[in-house]
Structure 1
Amino acid sequence: MDIGALLIQAASLMLTGMIGVFVFLSILILAVTNLSKLAKPDTGAPTVPTTRRQPSGGVPNAHIAAISAAITQYRTKQ
């Protein structure tokens, strides 16, 4: 076989593979979308929980002191 025939065969094989993957992924996306619509009935109510978290007070002062002491100790050793 000459190089031209090999290149044409390689291009057709590549194109066939790319089309096959595209079709497979398109079918997969459609199937997942349809199954998600079947699995979750639309009730119209929001699914967000109504309880709210209390804001945390930040990092405790004891942690800040321990981190500062560790950094100071590391810098004095270097």
Structure 2
Amino acid sequence: MAIANQQTRPIDEVRIWNRKLTGDEIKNYNTYPIDQGNLPAGLVAYFPMDEGSGSTVVDKTANPSNASYYRHGKLGWTGSSLGK
């Protein structure tokens, strides 16, 4: 799977689910970070993208499948404001 971001907006994190989320779940999960000690049902990949350097992002689920981040030009890491 490839996720293309042709814009200059930062991506804070990526979550991949194997089920449809309710509207309330989307609102709740959009506002708060995932508790890695208590992952919600159906979350099959979770990349908080908090590595701070490099081009690999680590999947924090029980069955990790790390991903590579590639962008033409400069790769930049910034701080997150999610849940703060």
State the TM bucket, normalised to the shorter chain: under 0.3
TM-score w.r.t. the length of structure 1 is: 0.17
Relative to its length, the structure with more helix (as a share) is 1
Structure with bigger gyration radius? 1
Greater relative contact order (Cα < 8 A, sep 6+):
2
